[in-house]
Structure 1
Amino acid sequence: MGVQLPKRPVSPWRRLALVSALGSGLLLLTSCSAEVRDEWKRGAMPEPATKEAWQILEFWQWSWVVALLTGALVWGLIFWVIWRYRRRHDDDVPVQTRYNLPLEIFYTIAPMIMILVLFSHTVRIQHDLTEIPEADHTVVVVGQQWSWTFNYVDEPVADGKNVYEFGTGSYIPTLVLPVDESVRFELHSPDVIHSFWITGFLYKEDVIPGRVNEFVVTPDKEGTYSGKCAELCGTYHSRMLFNVEVVSREEYDAYLQDRIEAGFVSDDVILGGKEATTQAGLESDTTEGGTE
């Protein structure tokens, strides 16, 4: 028989510290701003800015729900086993079980079912996002070392010409899109692999030399969003930034007209090279659109 030691009384100061810690945690959670609480609900994902992005957000959220439930189940079973089969005061070793066939079948089949469900949803969403339907607008995007060129093609306001915008290492270009109208992006690169990523769209696509990747989105919320290259593409990779403005159709048409009046019009699509300042930002050029 083991000797049972008397229980040590809990100090009032320890209880006070525990209550204070719990109270501070609850106060911290309740004092978060509405924006922070929304970020927690989205799992730290940006707020979707296109109709297609909602599929990605919902899949992301449910993946976290499944992961948390799985973690709670596993950790719950671990702590239950630790408590249920702990060594007693009589020092007897708990009964050892070599195998449990139903349990082994469960922890083999259950993960397979989870993976198959997640895989099926991944394939469905990927199919929806990579489908290329007819779009209202087409923007030919060029990712070059180290900036971006945007060609607005098939626009009536351009009078048959191509309106474009390009940046340099010292000038961040802006991509303007109309709200609630679908846009098809054609991605080109004259040098190395880049990655076209608009964070609010929750989607990115590689920009590969010799290959034209495409995707279609429909921006459904006006606002300003950030864009960047998500592929390490060279020394000045960090300069490959751009802004995205989702505006009304009237503002979109006015923007194209302003570009035409400013002379940013070409008979051909600009696919990199001298006009797009392929190795931009190495000079002292700070003029809008990279012009000297």
Structure 2
Amino acid sequence: MAAGLAFAGLLILAAPALAQPAGQPAPWHLGLQPSVSPVADEVHNFHNLLLWIITLISLFVLALLVYVMVRFRASANPVPSKTSHNTLVEVVWTVVPILILIVIAVPSFKLLYFADKAEKADLTIKAIGKQWYWTYEYPDNGNFTFDATIVQEADLKAGQPRLLATDNAVVVPVNKNVRVLVTAADVIHAWAMPAFAVKKDAVPGRLNETWFRAEREGTYYGQCSEICGTYHGYMPIEVKVVSQADFDKWVEDAKKKFAAVDGASPRLADARAAQ
């Protein structure tokens, strides 16, 4: 049992060293993506708490099984016990699981409340899931709209990850509370960003809300995490976290580049222009 505990502790301590690089998955790496938001920090803490609990429970059950197999084997007990009731044991196996569930429930409810929505958002972005790309709106910064589609493998540039890079990235300022309004135009999608610990369903006719505050500049990748059709696996999300100055400059450029027509996405605007 001591060896098992030592091995479990080693795995937990080694997890940060084996974790994926920030922003995207990597081959042969273990653990969650490094967190870059307060919600992700709390999710990682809750994950580690559960890991300790389940490890201790598993080791305890394993020890009981070994004890029973050795202590009550047929050769050691030619005349088996006929005991069928033990009040103490029955109380213990009822009370202890309840206490464990309480220990799990308290931080779980706190985390659910914390991750629910931003009380004071500095920026709002609307993400609209479509088959099979995302449309984004920036209502607080000129109300421009743009589409983000996957970069095909033949068009990938150096440093762009396969199946994760998009032609247009969501850009947000660092250390700002970003409210994300999520919906869909056709079927259910899901806006998911592992480094931010964000995953929110995009449901047609419904507006869901989530939030994040990226505390480190960089490029982060996610994907639609609801099976939404044939090209579900080709619906990535790319978010660039930049300084406030760079964000302001990007907004000014984006207003010119992504000017929407009657609030429509660029795809629809191009289609109208072609008619």
Q: Structure 2 length as normaliser, TM-score?
A: 0.77
Which one-letter code corresponds to 2:44 in the other structure?
A: L
Whole-angstrom distance in 2 between the partners of 1:57 and 1:248: 26
Is 1:191 aligned with 2:186? yes
Is 1:251 aligned with 2:237? no
Q: CA 1:269–1:80 in 2, change beyond 3 Å: closer, same or farther? A: farther
Structure 1 residues 132-147: aligned runs within 5 Å: 132-147=118-133
Is 1:48 aligned with 2:70? no
Give deviations 1:130-177, integer Å, cap 9, x for gaps.
13412111111111111011222212xxxxx32333123556231111
Which one-letter code corresponds to 2:149 in the other structure?
A: T
Residue 208 of structure 1: which of 192, 195, 203 is its match?
203
Whole-angstrom distance in 1 between the partners of 2:20 and 2:266: 40
Asked if structure 2 preserves the Cα contact closer than 8 Å seen for 1:139 and 1:185, the reply is: yes
Q: CA 1:185–1:34 in 2, change beyond 3 Å: closer, same or farther? A: closer
Q: CA 1:33–1:60 in 2, change beyond 3 Å: closer, same or farther? A: closer
Structure 1 residues 75-86: aligned runs within 5 Å: 75-86=62-73
Whole-angstrom distance in 1 between the partners of 2:260 and 2:197: 31
Residue 72 of structure 1 aligns to a residue whose secondary structure is helix
Residue 62 of structure 1 aligns to a residue whose secondary structure is helix
Residue 6 of structure 1 corresponds to which residue in structure 2? none
Moved more, 177-186 or 243-252: 243-252
Residue 55 of structure 1 aligns to a residue whose secondary structure is helix
Structure 1 residues 27-106: aligned runs within 5 Å: 35-36=17-18, 44-88=31-75, 92-106=78-92
Q: CA 1:38–1:151 in 2, change beyond 3 Å: closer, same or farther? A: closer
Whole-angstrom distance in 1 between the partners of 2:260 and 2:107: 43
Residue 154 of structure 1: which of 130, 140, 144 is its match?
140
Task: Indicate the RMSD between aligned Cα atoms, in angstroms.
Answer: 3.0
Asked if structure 2 preserves the Cα contact closer than 8 Å seen for 1:137 and 1:182, the reply is: yes
Which one-letter code corresponds to 1:152 in the other structure?
A: Y
Q: CA 1:268–1:48 in 2, change beyond 3 Å: closer, same or farther? A: farther
Residue 181 of structure 1: which of 160, 176, 181 is its match?
176
Asked if structure 2 preserves the Cα contact closer than 8 Å seen for 1:163 and 1:259, the reply is: yes
Asked if structure 2 preserves the Cα contact closer than 8 Å seen for 1:180 and 1:218, the reply is: yes
Residue 26 of structure 2 corresponds to which residue in structure 1? none
Q: CA 1:38–1:274 in 2, change beyond 3 Å: closer, same or farther? A: closer
Whole-angstrom distance in 2 between the partners of 1:104 and 1:275: 69
Residue 129 of structure 1: which of 94, 97, 115 is its match?
115
Aligned sequence identity (%)? 28
Which one-letter code corresponds to 1:168 in the other structure?
A: T
- Whichever of the two has the greater Rg, that structure is 1
Give deviations 1:104-125, integer Å, cap 9, x for gaps.
1111121122223322322221
Asked if structure 2 preserves the Cα contact closer than 8 Å seen for 1:270 and 1:276, the reply is: no
Residue 25 of structure 2 corresponds to which residue in structure 1? none
Residue 140 of structure 1 aligns to a residue whose secondary structure is strand
Asked if structure 1 preserves the Cα contact closer than 8 Å seen for 2:146 and 2:266, the reply is: no
Q: CA 1:180–1:66 in 2, change beyond 3 Å: closer, same or farther? A: same
Residue 149 of structure 2 corresponds to which residue in structure 1? 168
Q: Unaligned stretches of 5+ in structure 2? A: 1-6, 22-28, 153-165
1:217 Cα shift? Answer: 1.6
Asked if structure 1 preserves the Cα contact closer than 8 Å seen for 2:118 and 2:178, the reply is: no
1:266 Cα shift? Answer: 2.8
Whole-angstrom distance in 2 between the partners of 1:33 and 1:77: 28
1:87 Cα shift? Answer: 3.9
Whole-angstrom distance in 1 between the partners of 2:187 and 2:136: 17
